[in-house]
Amino acid sequence: MSKASLLPQVFAALTSKASMKHIISKNIGIEEFKKKFSEIRETFWDSLTAASDGYKNVSYLACDENGAAINWVWDDETFTHNKEAGSLEEAIQFANNMIDSGMCFSYMGCLAGSGELEVWLTTFESPIEKPTWPSNKVPLFELTHGGVTQE
């Protein structure tokens, strides 16, 4: 499965709710698995980047399993997560860390004040099938990376 073959699925997801669950054959070696895993993860990042295209102001926020906002942006000076809002690069790094750890990862976009886009991020584990978003937010789009498994 090439990165290009995943793009229609990703861009369709930007106007709806979708989940990306990927199964890779056990008949391939570890290096091929790593390559395919990286392609899948990068396609998810590309969709996160594409989701905010066209918006002048975008805030990246994260919530816990109950939909409550959390501090998620890492600060090297204080060695803590001490901010609620971060950049696209920080959102991609957060997604990368969670996906590489085997977690499911979701993002959702909604409008906030004068056309500003809020992109909410969250992570969870199976058997949870879908995230809980802040109750006062109406999703414009949502995408979940449901993990990568071998069969």
Domain boundaries, the chain: 3-150
Q: How far apart are alpha carbons 100 and 38 in whole angstroms?
A: 9
Confidence of residue 20 (pLDDT cuts 50, 70, 90): low
Q: Which residue has the higher pLDDT, 122 or 17?
A: 122
The more confident residue out of 55 and 44 is: 55
Query: pTM of the entire structure?
Result: 0.75
> Rounded to 10 degrees, what is the CA torsion of 61, 63, 68, 71?
-60
Residue 23 bridge partners (DSSP): 149
CA distances from 150 to 26, 30, 121 (A): 5, 11, 26
pLDDT in tens, 119-129: 999 988 877 77
Residue 123: closest CA among 139, 107, 142, 140: 107
Q: Give me the pLDDT at residue 90, please.
A: 93
Pairing of strands 73-75, 80-83: antiparallel
Please tell me the distance from the alpha carbon of residue 143 to that of residue 83, in angstroms, as a whole number. 23
Which is higher by pLDDT, 139 or 3?
139
107 contact partners, CB below 8 Å, separation of at least 6: 48, 51, 91, 95, 119, 120, 121, 122, 142, 143
> DSSP class of residue 84?
S
- Of the two residues 81 and 149, the one the predictor is more confident about is 81
